[in-house]
Amino acid sequence: MPAKCPRADVQRVDVSEPDGLDVLRHSAAHVMAQAVQQLFEGTKLGIGPYIRDGFYFDFDAQRPFTPDDLKSIEKTMQKIINQGQRFEREVVTLDEAKRQMADEPYKLELLGEGDDAETAAEGAGVEVGGPEITIYHNVDRSGERVWSDLCRGPHVPSTKLIANAFSVMRAAGAYWRGKEGNPQLQRLYGTAWPTKDDLKAYKERLAEAERRDHRRLGRELDLFSFPEEIGSGLSVWHPKGGLVRGIMEQHARTKHLQGGYTYVYTPHISKADLFAASGHLANYKDDMWPAISMDEETDEDGNVTKQGQDYYLKPMNCPMHILIYKERGRSYRDLPLRFAENGTVYRNERSGALHGLTRVRGFTQDDAHLFVRPDQLEAEVTKVVEFVVDLLRDFGLEQFELELSMKDDDSGKWVGSEEYWESATQALRNVAVGSGLKMTEIPGEAAFYGPKIDLKVTDAIGRRWQLSTVQVDPNLPERFELEYTAEDGSRQRPIMIHRALFGSIERFFAILLEHYAGAFPHGWHPFRSGDSGG
């Protein structure tokens, strides 16, 4: 369905090309906004960009949209589309833009921001941010401008191109410009495709994802549940789920032992002092469960007669592994030391962030902390990356890529010397390049104490998940004053490597469950009988 070019200065793009599809969707967003303002007078416009698989538009509406509203909006869109409105581009001055957008406070705000708007919010770049300010008008057959929006464009020549392959999907709240402190707008998500068949295929893809949803499969196959009596985000594993999980853990354990790891065990809670020393109470407290107060005694008047202790559920295992390291003097001959633990940690995730097994409040990390000499860093990280990929392949995952998270120039955000960052980053880069996997460098995404390599996996239906992470950390060894005796008898500080392969065992299980659509490979799924088609 090639777009016809009515004017010479219009560039021709086919809607079957990715760029063309974006234009189509952004145009559909304009049509949707026009429909909304037609149906609900006084609704103010936010932004309305294209996104993966569709588009959205934010509105400041008098009242939230109901499911019925979505239907009528879709109908009105169809009418507008059938009118065959043209999109007309007008270059305007800032003053003129402000005049035309006088009734649109959010647009005025964007105009006031000028060039900053590009980075201010996802999609804001489609509104302004080009070299000149433009307004796009929808013009009906009589030549009358029926609707306008501040927009960088481009758009399809006629609304007819949106044809029948569009759909208003759902309504949701969204903060203006993505900031939690800002007012919440009503966002409508929609989708648009070149043909009806494409739309149908897209909806089929959504249905397939729903069929594979691990929450549904977990219930249907009797694998795990989240009893309300226990608390949200806290899972229990039923016999069948426990059997599969046990097989996974068993296999990983065998591999770890072969790979030179030793297993350690640590408790779920600790006195506050430990997390004060590690810095977690200073930097991570909001994500930790509230303290458990122990042993405090008071007299009849309520005066404290015996000082109590605060205990915290551990959000991470590292401080406890460090204490194991510190239990005795270490020699350079002992390193690398590799402490592994399937350690259950607890994090106070905000209620709205919880999602099945992939985002929970209590989960088990297949965690390990490696203590290495600086000169062993690169070799050890190489070994870890090979180990990760090898193990994940055992579980049937095939498509991997790496992300190298580095520091950026934003001073004050990072601790450690320039030389340290330079050498650690270079070591990780060498490893990543040497792995032969696709690698992307991401400045500014490092942990505050060091660079990291994250491994992303693509599953059977094309979704990408972050699983493994390998982080270089000289900070905790510093805080806990870790040492080893070097060959020359001097005391040296080891570097620590944090690494998890599955990330969270629960989450990894969920990912595999969806990857295999519930049909785990033969040999380790207990609940399907007979059929070998699996």
Where do contacts with RNA occur on this chain (CB under 7 A)?
A: 64, 66, 122, 170-175, 178-180, 184, 186-187, 213, 215, 219-220, 226, 228, 231-233, 280, 283-284, 316, 349-356, 359, 447-448
Q: Smaller CB distance to RNA: residue 8 or 282?
A: 282
Report the amino acid identity of residue 450: G
- Residue 339: how many CB atoms within 10 A of its CB? 21
Q: Smaller CB distance to RNA: residue 91 or 353?
A: 353
Structure tokens, 140 = 């009906």
Respond yes or no: is residue 151 known to be catalytic: no
Structure tokens, 447 = 């942990």
Residue 67, H or E segment: helix 67-83
Active-site choice (155, 321, 338, 347):
347
- In 3D, which of 408, 400, 401 has the Cα closest to residue 425? 408
Active-site choice (86, 155, 280, 498):
498
Q: Smaller CB distance to RNA: residue 250 or 283?
A: 283
- In 3D, which of 493, 261, 507 has the Cα closest to residue 384? 261
Active-site choice (365, 459, 507, 515):
365
Respond yes or no: is residue 318 known to be catalytic: yes
Residue 98, H or E segment: helix 94-100
Length of the chain: 534
- Cα–Cα distance for residue pair 203/168, rounded to 1 Å: 12
Least Å from the CB of residue 296 to RNA: 26
Structure tokens, 87 = 């999109």
Instruction: Specify whether the CB–CB gap between 4 and 84 falls below 8 A.
Output: no
Q: Smaller CB distance to RNA: residue 233 or 477?
A: 233
Least Å from the CB of residue 76 to RNA: 19
Least Å from the CB of residue 308 to RNA: 26
Respond yes or no: is residue 256 known to be catalytic: no
Report the amino acid identity of residue 187: R
Least Å from the CB of residue 165 to RNA: 20
Instruction: Specify whether the CB–CB gap between 338 and 260 falls below 8 A.
Output: yes
Respond yes or no: is residue 369 known to be catalytic: yes
Least Å from the CB of residue 174 to RNA: 4
Q: Smaller CB distance to RNA: residue 278 or 376?
A: 278
Respond yes or no: is residue 367 known to be catalytic: yes
Q: Smaller CB distance to RNA: residue 97 or 281?
A: 281
Torsions phi, psi for 445 (to 5 deg): -100, 0
Active-site choice (86, 149, 318, 361):
318
Half-sphere exposure in the Cβ direction for 483 (13 Å, CA): 10
Active-site choice (69, 367, 459, 473):
367
Instruction: Specify whether the CB–CB gap between 322 and 482 falls below 8 A.
Output: yes
DSSP 336: S
Active-site choice (452, 499, 507, 515):
452
- Cα–Cα distance for residue pair 491/227, rounded to 1 Å: 51
Least Å from the CB of residue 354 to RNA: 6
Least Å from the CB of residue 468 to RNA: 13
- Residue 143: how many CB atoms within 10 A of its CB? 8
Q: Smaller CB distance to RNA: residue 186 or 376?
A: 186
The residues annotated as belonging to the active site are: 318, 347, 365, 367, 369, 452, 498
